[in-house]
Amino acid sequence: MIRIIKKILLPSIISALLIGSFNSSLYDKKTLAQNYYESELYDDAIIIYEEIFLIEKEVFGYNSLNRLETVEKLYKIHLLNKNADKAKEYIQEYLDIQYSYIVKQQNSFIQPLEELKNIYTIEKKPDIVFEIDSLIQIINDNTDIVKKDSALTLPKIIININDTTNIETEYTNNDIALEYMGQGLNYLKNNLYTDAKINFSKALDLNAEILNLNYFKKINFG
């Protein structure tokens, strides 16, 4: 199945690559920045990564997870460059992006909670109905907008400790594959064909069950 999908998808991407401009590719910028970084030319690496930072902010939006890799690079390089103040700025940016994502993900709780509330309403269990309703209200009142000021803003952590005190946070293959596909589609939309191809290939290489023919039928590649 995956081979069939690759045969359908990759030729379209390759055709797009022939039309696109490689010189302005985000992939090329990342490669250049990484070369500067590995050569310990940190000032030069920062200049290129900050260009990438602005491009990704424009393409993906302020709180997109797609920006995390670049933000992480920037704060680590600033630490290596002995610039703690700039490092703190990008660490804060990294935390804000992650926190915003977690808050937005909680919205997916609303529909099942509403269904659960209806069940307990029919069963005439008002205490549980009230508890669920309060939870729904909290989610509805939440905002993924993080206040920007000069003070450090630490994220609020959801605590979920099991009996062995281990917390499992691994993404499934499906989650990772969908993230790669989402990144690839955003790159494709903005004519960054090399980066699109790389992300699509990474997604397909995972052999995730969710990337079936029905999934690709719903996608408009433009």
Identify whether 189 is part of a domain: yes
Identify whether 168 is part of a domain: yes
Under a CB-based contact definition with an 8 Å cutoff, are residues 75 and 42 in contact?
no
Under a CB-based contact definition with an 8 Å cutoff, are residues 180 and 213 in contact?
no
The whole-number pLDDT of residue 23 equals 37
The whole-number pLDDT of residue 13 equals 53
The whole-number pLDDT of residue 4 equals 54
When divided into structural domains, the chain yields a total of 1
The whole-number pLDDT of residue 45 equals 95
Give the span between the Cα atoms of 122 and 74, in whole angstroms.
Answer: 54
Sequence-ordered list of residues with C-beta below 8 angstroms from that of 142, at least 6 positions apart, any chain: 103, 106
Identify whether 216 is part of a domain: yes
Q: Which residues of the chain have pLDDT under 50?
A: 15-23, 164-170
The whole-number pLDDT of residue 61 equals 86
**pTM for the model:** 0.57
Identify whether 180 is part of a domain: yes
Given the structure tokens 């991407």, which residue do they identify?
13
Evaluated on CA atoms 172, 176, 182, 188, the torsion sign reads: negative
Instruction: Count CB neighbours of 26 within 10 A.
Output: 20
Identify whether 173 is part of a domain: yes
- First-residue to last-residue Cα distance in the chain: 23
The whole-number pLDDT of residue 168 equals 40
Helix axes 193-205, 26-38, angle to 10 degrees: 80
Identify whether 186 is part of a domain: yes
| Cα–Cα nearest to 205, from 178, 186, 177, 179 | 177
Give the span between the Cα atoms of 67 and 76, in whole angstroms.
Answer: 15
The whole-number pLDDT of residue 161 equals 53
**Residue 17 is part of which domain span?**
1-23+159-222
Give the span between the Cα atoms of 114 and 133, in whole angstroms.
Answer: 8
